Structures are given as structure tokens and as C-alpha cells.
Chain A
Amino acid sequence: MAAKRESPRLARIQELWLLACAVLTLAPDAEHAPAWLTAAVGMTLAWRGAIWWRTATLPPRWLLTFLVAAGSAGIFLTYRQFFGKDPGVALLILFLALKLLELRSVRDGLAVIFLCYFLLLTHFLNAQGIEVAGLAMAALVAITAALASLGHAGRSAVEHLRLSALMLAQAAPFMLVLFLLFPRVQGPLWGLPVDAYSGMSGLSDAMSPGSISNLSLSGEIAFRVRFEGEIPPKHILYWRGPVLRLFDGRTWRAGAQQEKVSPPDTATSGAIRYAITLEPHNKHWLFALEMPDVPPPGAIISREYQVLAKTPVRSRMRYEMRSHPDFVSGADESGASLRSNMNLSANNPRTRALAEQWRRESGDQEAVIRRMLDHFRQESFFYTLTPPLLGENSIDQFLFDTRRGFCEHFASAFVFAMRAAGIPARIVTGYQGGEHNPVDDYLIVRQSDAHAWAEVWLEGKGWLRVDPTAAVAPNRIEAGLASAVPAGEPLPFLVRTDISWLRQIRFRWEAVNNSWNQWVLGYTPQRQREVLSRLGMREPDWKAMTAVMAALCGFLLLGLTAWALHKRVRLDPTVRAWNRLSRKLARIGLARRDWEGPADYAHRVALARPELTQPMAAIAALYIDLRYGRLNGKEPRQRLRGLIADMEIAVPR
């Protein structure tokens, strides 16, 4: 049995490398790990750093055992189990931090490095954005450099980093091949627990005063649109979301949804085609320009022209749509369904009285609508993100007292008044407008573009869109939220239009992000098939992909090997001949030491093997002339090769 060998101790610089790796690897976990664990790990790292700084001794074994037990107990108490994604990751974090406290030998260093590699992977369980990938890439380079430092303590940090970068660069083509060709499975790579979606923001299927203005404070992206052809003008960009028709005096709610049977009633002008990449919002509805005609696969269009997916949208989703900006819809609406758009709550008496009065005074329904819009326009109504709070009779209060509101106030008051005047009306929520990113030509729609407008039903014309906000603040529709609200209101930072260089940077960043989403995260089986068929693979199935993948990896390996060989070939032929001599003499244990000069070598060989004195002297003299003298040319080099080849060495049996 071989004697147990002690693993070599770590040098200080190696310890520093490993500590840096651990910090780089653990830092992104601070966001997701439980707070107590983050604090404990932070303290452990600081402690270990202080030990390194003062070259103090590491804590004793019993203390480590206690810390492991305490930490594990804490994790169990937090998650009530050890299995599963979060507790598993938490355990790994704990163990990595504690392993640093017994970092003594190169063996411990290797354990830390492998833990770091593994933990790096787990970061992608929480987020897959480009910044996470970038950070992971940086950590990967650092960890690999630390691994290199374990092997060569004497080299400098730059050399370790260069080696690491070179190795990873050599791995990159393999990564690309595997990424492109590895057979994909549908859906996200790993199942995520249901509670992962609770924090998502977006429109809801209920609207009360303040709900949309709250949402408007978020600069988060709701979805991105790529149009085929020109981006339509702003006043057409009404992205239809939940339609609300039930009102309790304060809150509007959606009713039950039914699938629409017939296609859109009339399409009078050219259709707009576009593809939407929707950020997950954990709701069923998809957004589309008014009015969509054919639902994307796996979705339906309801009678209220809402596009609904069969399951809540929990991962980024890309779908293609076609819409008709000029439309006539619901001309054949049944009486029962119209009546459901007529019901009024009992309160808000002043508004009801006003609407009654308008109906009596005006001749027809269209005149009532005009009168209402004129009312908004002529009376002193204000469009603001920070309206006063409203009480029980919210519409009365808004229309007669406060007169300050955001789009939901105007839409809600308008629909209520229309219903009171006997006109079927409903609220449509969604987004309006969007921002064109000139870098990648996508239209970006944010939560701050959330909007609410109204639809009224007129005999013979069907449902018509009326946007009361446009009457008060036409700028909201034409130029976006930032120009419509008074100066000084709290807008999301990203929506502000006054800092142009910031806008440029943001556009670029979002374009990069979008390409990442589209091509890396959104590289679904379907995308894979598209890409591969564009590359010339017809009907790619997993067998063909695997075969091509293996072949490409083989080629890459061959290429890298050829490169390595080529680098060797570039050695001076004289040196190659000299190395051959060394290999030849190695058989009798007289290999040249790599720091040994030619004269010394010849001398040593002659001492050990007197019979070789003559040929060795000749070879060394010729080599010296070629390598260190002025002799040059093909002939002497060949002579050198010949001398070396002719040298006969008696290998002792």
C-alpha cells in the first residue's frame, strides 16, 4: 500500500486567489439566499479575510463542526427540508463559506474550486439575464485562473488569467456547437416552483382609481414588438388587454369570457403584422393591437376581442399576430350581452343626473358622447399621475370636485356617464404607444405605457373606441406619458425623455438584452429548427443533430490539435534536431537537462560514455555553430540531423 502523502500546503497568493473566487461566486447569491445566511456568509468571508491578512491560524475542527451543524439547522428551519432547489443551493453556499475556514492544502483548494464551479451554475436557476451570464463568465475566468494558480504558484496573476482566458477561448467553439445543436426540450430547462411568479407586475383584471397610475410608475418592460414594415403611428398603437364591464361604484372588473366564434366583422384596410415578445406576467391574457383577427397557437380570441392563452404566461413568450386598425366589431351584439354593458351601481347620483340631463337635451347618442368629451375638454380637468384619493362616490367626486385624474379616472367616469345616458359602454385596459428603439428596431412597451380607455356601442356601428384621456391630454397619445403629465411629477427614471445620452445608452442596452432574450434564452426547439434549416439541415431530428454535433466537435478538436502541432513545428529545425539527440540519449539516462548548455552536455555525455566522446563533440560543435555562431543554411542542418541519426548508442540490456 502506498504511503499516505500529504497534499502540499497553499501559498498565500493561492489562498488569496481562492478567496477572491469564493467572493465572486457568492456575491450574486446575496440577492436570493435568506438574509441570515447572507449575513453569516459575509461574516465568514470577512473572518477568513482577516485570518489571511494577519496570517493567523485557522479555527479548530470542533468549531467548524459546530458551525456546520448550526448552519444546516438554520437551513432546515428556513425551508423545512434539505431537498429541492433553494435549500440545496443554500447548503452549497454554507459549505463553500465554511470550507474556506479549513483551507490549508492544495487539496482543499481544489474542493473550493469545484464548489465554485457548481455554485456558478446555480445562479442561473434564479435569473438568466445577460448580466447574470456576464458575471458568471467573469467568475468562470477567475475560478479557472485560480485553478491554474494551484498548479504554478510562481507565476504572476496576469499569466494565470491569460492561461484561463486561453483555455476558455478554446472551449468557446465547443460551447457554441453544443448550444446550437444539442437537442432542445420544450419549456424552461428546469422546473421552477409555482411561487416563483408572485412578484411579477402587470395589468390585472380589476381596475380601481389609482391602479393604473401606480403601474405607470414602473419602468419595467411589458413586451417588445417587431413590426413587419413600418411602425404604425402612435394613435393606432392601442394594445388591447383586459376588458372590464362589471362596476361596483368604485372598482371595474372583467366578466366571464367566451370564445368568439366568427372572425372579425369587417377588415377595411391592410392588416398589420407583428411579433410580440411578452415578458411573463402570470396572467392568461396576451396583448394585441386592436383588433386582432387570428389567435396565435394555443390561444383564443374572446367575444370581447381579448387574446387569451390557455395557461398563464410564466416564461417569456413570443407570438405572431395580425391586426386590423380599421375595424367594425360587435355590430351584431345580442341584447343580453349589451345589457351586461349597461348595468350601473347605485351610487354616484350627481353623475347619473348629469347624464340623464344630457340625454334629454341631446338628440342622439353620438351627441351625448361629444358633449361628454367637450365637458372634459372645456372644464378645468387635469391629467396627473398623482390624483387625490377618492371616496365612496368616486365618479361624482372626480367629475364635480377634484377634477384631477389619470386615465383610469377619465375612462371610468366616461363609461359610467355613458351607461347612465343609456349607451352600452365598457372599459378596455392595456397599453398605449411604446418607444421605438432605433438600435434594433423594436418597439418597447413598458408598464408606464399602461392605459385605460373606453368603448361604446352604437347601433349599426358596433363597438367604437373612445379615449377620454385624449380629450384632456392629447399629448399622452401622441408623445407619451412624459410629455403629458405636468413637470415635476414622479416619473419612472427610464421614461424620462429629457436626458438624451442616457436614452441612447438605454436603447443600446435594451437592444442587447432583447437579442439575448430572442436568441439565447428564446432558443426553443422551434427556433433551433429554424436556425438549422437555414444552415442547410433539412428536417433536423435529434439523431441528425447529435451526429452533426459529434462531427463538429471532432473537427474542432482536430483543428485545435493541428494548431498545437503547428506551434511545435515552428521551432527552429536545429533545436528540433538537438531535442531529438536528447531524446535519443534519454534511453541511456543521459537526457539533456533543460538548463544545460551544449558544451556542458557534450562534456557530461563524454564522461558517462567515453565511447560517445567523438560523435558527441562533433554534434555539439556543429550545433554550437548553427545555434550560437554565424553558421546558417540547409546543408549544415542536414549534416547535424545526419550526425544525430548516425550516432549509435548501445542500450544496456
Chain B
Amino acid sequence: MPTSPIDEVIRHAGRIVLGKERQIRLALVCLLARGHLLIEDLPGMGKTILAHVLARLLGLNFHRIQCTADMLPADIIGVSIYDRNSGGFQFHPGPIFAQVILVDEINRATPKSQSALLEAMEEHQVTCEGETRPLPDPFFVIATQNPYHQIGTFPLPESQLDRFLMRIEMGYPNQAAERELLAGADRRDMVATLAPCMEPGELSEFQGAVREVHVSEALVAYVQAIAEHTRRSPDYETGLSPRAALALLRAARAWALIDHRDLVLPEDIQVVLPAVAGHRLHPASGAPTVSSADMASALIGAVPIP
């Protein structure tokens, strides 16, 4: 198997974020598929480290936005300030002008700030005082939210959740990984010493290669069968939208790419399904609440591969 820069990224990231290869791969898939990632987990599970490591390894610059209830859109996008020397207004870009952004606790921000952020994510550009400014490319947002303490927060509405290609959970590390973590060096120091694995521009080549991954008719039929099932089955409140089905295909393509394949298999769909469909599907009222992983595996088991 040829070692590609992507393998290197996964290998190096795995040394720092221990025992989380699946999450690393999914985050990478999300980046390659030009999507954004929502991580839902408790504080201290390595969300920031993951984002930071990815940025370092891919040679991208990294900003962090800590969301608070009194944050304004200008705090994210930036402001124009009057400059006495030049006699005009000068734009001071906000933290959003970076290639990898970690938006911490996005559900603490007010809906106004959230929508400013999410709009930037969707459009890949921001408009400030009538002037449209493009965001850097690649542009990758990792947002986190704390699922348990929702008091005083503004949970993302469904339409906003849909803007994230994937939602994943970090989860506790396993015993071996934790022991290694506790015994090992400080993770922040390790991140600081990381060297990029990719040349500038290589990442966008990979992003372009994702679109070249072959999707056969049989596979489209499988994605359709999955979407169709969620729409007809009484187990779900609403079915998957066509956009969700497209997202599923996009993520599966990227997954196939990092798996060194130029064609998508049903297994790729199944692997990305919990992350892609989990936040877009809701169990019907009356049905027992299950985790998105359980819901996805039930969905996979219910749809035969055509």
C-alpha cells in the first residue's frame, strides 16, 4: 500500500490524539469533502487538540473562537476601525479569517452570532459593511458543543445543524490510550513540534480527487434505498433530505479516498452514516431515544444492499 501524505497525517495525529483513529479519519474525511465538523462532547476530551493537530499537520493556520453569550458577530468577522493616519476606515479581520477554526461551545453564542458564523461557513465568504471578503481556502470549521449542560445556551436549530457535514462524539479514551496519555509528554508541546505533512496546495488536490472517486449506479441505488427507508419508516420523525443523501455520498467518497480506493463501496456509506445522518434524523415521538450510533446501525440493518 503506498504511503500517501494522508496516511502520514493519520499516523502522526494518532500519536497525539490517542486511540481515536476513527474520529481522526472522520475529521479528515470531513475536511477533504469540504464539509464542516460538529463535535459533541464533554470538555477535556481532546477536541481542541484534534483541531490543532489537523491544522498543524496539514500546514494550515489555526484560530480558535470561544463562544460566549455576549459575543457579537463583529467579534467573529471583524470590524472596520477609523485610522487617523490614512484618514479612512480600515478593516481588522476577525478570527474567522483562518483556514482551520475551532468554534468552542457554539451553543453558548446568541443566534445572531451563530447565524453569522454559519453563513460564513456556507458561503465561504463574509460581507462586512457592504464589502464581500473571501475566506481563506481551504476553510474548515470544527465546532464543539456540550450536550449535557444546556442551561443558558442556544441549541442549534435543525436547519443550522444541517450545515455541518458530520457530527461526531469523541468519547472517553480506552484504558491503554489513557495510560499512555497520562504517562506521556504534554500534548501541547507535542503539537508545537509537529511538522506539516503536506505541501501547500496538496490539500486542495486531494479535495479535488474526492470528486473523482467513482460512484456506481448500484451505490446510488443503495443511498436512495437508505433515504427512502427513512422517509417511509414510522421510526423517524422526518426522512433524510436530498441534501443529506448528497452529503452521505460526498463523505463516502472522501472515506474511500483515504482508504486508497477510487470507487465507493456500500461499506463506506455504512461507515460515515452515523456521523452524517445522526444529527439529521430524529426518532419518531414515542419511539425510545437511542444514540445516533444505535440509530444508524438499526438503519443499516433495515436496508438491504440492492
* B153 adjacent to chain A (CB < 8 Å): no
Interface-facing stretch out of B123-131, B275-283, B296-304: B296-304
Q: Is the pair B265, A596 in contact by a Cβ cutoff of 8 Å?
A: no
Contacts of B300 in A (CB 8 A): 595
Most B CB contacts (10 A, CB to CB) among A153, A156, A597, A627 go to A597
Q: If the complex has contacts A154-B234, A156-B232, are A629 and B305 also in contact, measured as CB distance less than 8 A?
A: no
Query: Which of B214, B233, B235, B303 makes the CB contact (< 8 A) with A629?
Result: B214
B150 within 8 A of A: no
Chain B residues within 8 Å of A599, by CB: 265, 267
Docked CA distance A159–B265 (Å): 30
In whole Å, how far is A282's beta carbon from the nearest beta carbon of chain B? 56
A594 within 8 A of B: yes
Given A594-B304, A595-B300, do A13 and B234 touch, yes or no (CB 8 Å)?
yes
Q: Which residue of A lies closest to B216 (CB)?
A: A628
Q: Is the CB of A624 within 8 A of B265?
A: yes
Interface assignment of A598: CB less than 8 Å from any CB of chain B: yes
A597 touches B232 (CB 8 A): no
The reply to whether B219 and A595 form a contact with Cβ atoms under 8 Å apart is no
Interface size of A in residues (CB-CB distance below 8 Å)? 20
Majority secondary structure, A binding face:
loop
A155 interface residue (CB < 8 Å to B) = yes
Cα distance A154–B267 in the bound complex, in angstroms: 25
Is B264 interfacial (CB 8 A cutoff)? yes
**A156, B263: Cα distance in complex, Å:** 34
Asked if A630 is at the interface (CB within 8 A of a chain B CB), the reply is: yes
Is B270 close to A, CB under 8 A? yes
A-side contacts of B233, CB under 8 Å: 154
Chain B residues with CB under 8 A of A598? 265-267
Q: Knowing that A154-B234, A598-B266, A599-B265 are A-B contacts, what are 14 other residue pairs whose CB atoms are under 8 Å apart, sorted by A's residue number?
A: A154-B232, A154-B233, A156-B232, A594-B304, A595-B301, A595-B304, A597-B265, A597-B270, A598-B265, A599-B267, A625-B263, A628-B214, A629-B214, A630-B263
A524 to chain B, nearest CB (A): 49
Decide if A594 touches B305 in the complex (CB within 8 Å).
yes
Q: What are 11 A-B interface contacts by the 8 Å CB criterion?
A: A154-B232, A154-B234, A159-B232, A572-B218, A594-B304, A595-B302, A595-B303, A597-B305, A627-B218, A629-B263, A630-B263
- The 5 A-B residue pairs with the shortest CB-CB distance, nearest first, are A594-B304, A597-B266, A597-B267, A629-B263, A628-B216
A13 CB, min distance to chain B CBs, angstroms: 7
Chain B residues whose C-beta falls within 8 Å of the C-beta of A597 in the assembled complex: 265-267, 270, 305
Kindly identify which residue among A159, A600, A628 contacts B219, using a CB–CB cutoff of 8 Å.
A628
- The reply to whether B305 and A628 contact each other, CB–CB distance below 8 Å, is no
- Whether the pair B267, A628 counts as a contact (CB closer than 8 A) is no
What are the residues of chain A within 8 A of B305 when measuring CB–CB? 594-597
Residues of B within 8 A of A594 (CB): 304-305
- With A594-B305, A595-B304 known as contacts, the answer to whether A630 contacts B214 (CB < 8 A) is yes
CB-contact partner of A627 in B216, B262, B267, B303, under 8 A: B216
Give a binary string over A592-613; 1 marks a CB under 8 Å from any B CB, 0 the rest: 0011111110000000000000
A620: nearest chain-B partner, CB-CB: B265
Cα(A159)–Cα(B219), bound, Å: 24
A600 and B267 in contact, given A629-B214, A630-B214 (Cβ under 8 angstroms)? yes
CB distance from A16 to the nearest CB of B (A): 13
Can you list, as one digit per residue, whether each of A622-653 has a CB less than 8 Å from chain B (1) or not (0)? 00110111100000000000000000000000
Q: How far is the CB of A579 from the nearest CB of chain B, in Å? A: 11
Q: Which of A156, A600, A628 contacts B218 (CB 8 A)?
A: A628
A628 to B234, CA, bound (A): 31
Instruction: Report the bound CA distance from A600 to B270 in whole Å.
Output: 11
Select the residue from B235, B262, B265 with max chain A CB neighbours within 10 A: B265
Kindly identify which residue among B232, B235, B263 contacts A624, using a CB–CB cutoff of 8 Å. Answer: B263
**Which residues of chain A are within 8 angstroms of B265 by Cβ–Cβ distance?**
597-599, 624, 628
For B214, B216, B235, B302, which residue has the most chain A Cβ atoms within 10 angstroms?
Answer: B216
Within 8 A of B (CB), among A224-272: none
Which residues in A have their C-beta under 8 angstroms from that of B266?
A: 597-598, 628
Instruction: Establish whether residues B216 and A629, one from each chain, have CB atoms under 8 Å apart when the complex forms.
Output: yes
- Once A155-B232, A594-B304, A596-B305 are accepted as A-B contacts, the answer to whether A628 and B263 lie under 8 Å apart by CB is yes
B residues near A155, Cβ cutoff 8 Å? 232
A138-157 CB mask vs B (1 if < 8 Å, else 0) is 00000000000000011110
Q: Which residues of A contact B262 (CB under 8 A)?
A: 629
In the bound assembly, the distance between CA atoms of A599 and B269 in angstroms comes to 13
Q: How distant is the Cα of A50 from the Cα of B267 in the complex, in angstroms?
A: 48
Q: Which residue of chain A has its CB nearest to the CB of B219?
A: A628
User: Which of B218, B219, B264, B302 counts the most chain A CB atoms within 10 A?
Assistant: B218
Q: Which of A154-185 contact B (CB under 8 A)?
A: 154-156, 159
Closest to B286 in A: A12
A624 to B266, CA, bound (A): 10
User: Which residues of A lie under 8 Å from residue B264 when comparing CB positions?
Assistant: 628
What is the minimal beta-carbon distance from B2 to any residue of chain A, in angstroms? 18
Q: Smallest CB–CB gap between A114 and chain B, Å?
A: 26
Complex Cα distance, B303 from A651, in Å, reads 30
Contacts of B301 in A (CB 8 A): 595
The CA-CA distance from A630 to B300 in the complex, in Å, is 25
Min Cβ gap A430→B in Å is 64
The residue of chain A having its C-beta at the shortest distance from the C-beta of B231 within the complex is A156
- In Å, the complex CA distance between A630 and B213 comes to 11
Question: A582 → chain B, closest Cβ, in Å?
Answer: 11
Nearest Cβ in chain A — how far from B3, in angstroms?
Answer: 21
Q: Which residue from chain A places its CB closest to the CB of B299 in the assembled complex?
A: A595
State the CA gap A159–B216 with chains docked (Å). 28
- Which chain B residue shows the least CB distance to A11? B234
Cβ–Cβ < 8 Å partners of B304 in chain A: 594-595
**How distant is the Cα of A597 from the Cα of B216 in the complex, in angstroms?**
14
Q: What per-residue 1/0 map shows which CB atoms of B239-275 lie under 8 Å from chain A?
A: 0000000000000000000000011111100100000
Question: CA separation between A466 and B90, bound complex, in Å?
Answer: 115
Measured CB to CB, the nearest residue on chain B to A156 is B232
Chain A residue at minimum C-beta to C-beta distance from B226: A595
Return chain A residues, CB-CB under 8 Å to B214.
628-630
Question: What B residues does A13 contact at CB under 8 A?
Answer: 234
Hey, which chain A residues are within 8 Å of B234, CB to CB? 13, 153-154
The answer for the CA separation of A625 and B219 in the assembled complex, in Å, is: 12
Inter-chain CA distance A5–B219, complex, in Å, is 41
* A153 vs B262: C-alpha distance when bound (angstroms): 40
